[in-house]
Amino acid sequence: MFQGENAITIDDKGRLAVPTVYRDPIASDCANQLVITYSPFDAGCLYIYPRSVWESVRDQVNKLPRTKASSRNLQLKLVGAAHFVELDGNGRISIPPSHRNNAALEKRAVLVGMGDKFELWSEHAHQAQVRQVLTDADLTEELLDLQL
């Protein structure tokens, strides 16, 4: 459903305009309801899920044993930090201040479509991530069997 990189601006009130190409699918597939939470893998990134996709992820994470530290940490980072948002009449969503601060999001950011969700990166963190991916030898080996 979502793919591609989009340079975006976060305004002074913490709002970002969802690119127009995604607005109709978001409206029809999840009634304009999205969920914002932390990435469990990258400090400079937030995940933005359509609500229906989020509910499946949430249920999987909540089934993990709460007595294991790694499971508990994942539950806290994903489920505990989840914040519901809706697109407003101008196609914008508000990113909570705590999420913006913890992901070091400023005015310039990058919204990356990852199929079933978006990743929202600070511009600086996204550039660093792309440089890392492009120079990662292990990733190259994994791709040898793919027909790209």
pLDDT in tens, 75-125: 999 999 999 999 999 999 999 999 999 999 999 999 999 999 999 999 988
Cα pseudo-dihedral 130, 133, 135, 140, rounded to 10: -140
Report how far residue 127's alpha carbon sits from residue 92's, in angstroms, rounded to the nearest whole number. 24
Q: Which residue from 99, 127, 3, 97 is spatially nearest to 43, judged by alpha carbons?
A: 99
30 located within any domain: yes
Q: What is the pLDDT of residue 124?
A: 87
Residue 147 has pLDDT above 60, yes or no: no
148 located within any domain: no
Q: Is 42 left (phi over 0), alpha (psi -120 to 50) or beta?
A: beta
For residue 69, give its domain range.
Answer: 2-140
145 located within any domain: no
Of all residues in the chain, the percent with pLDDT exceeding 90 is 77
Domain containing residue 74: CATH number? 3.40.1550.20
Length of the chain: 148
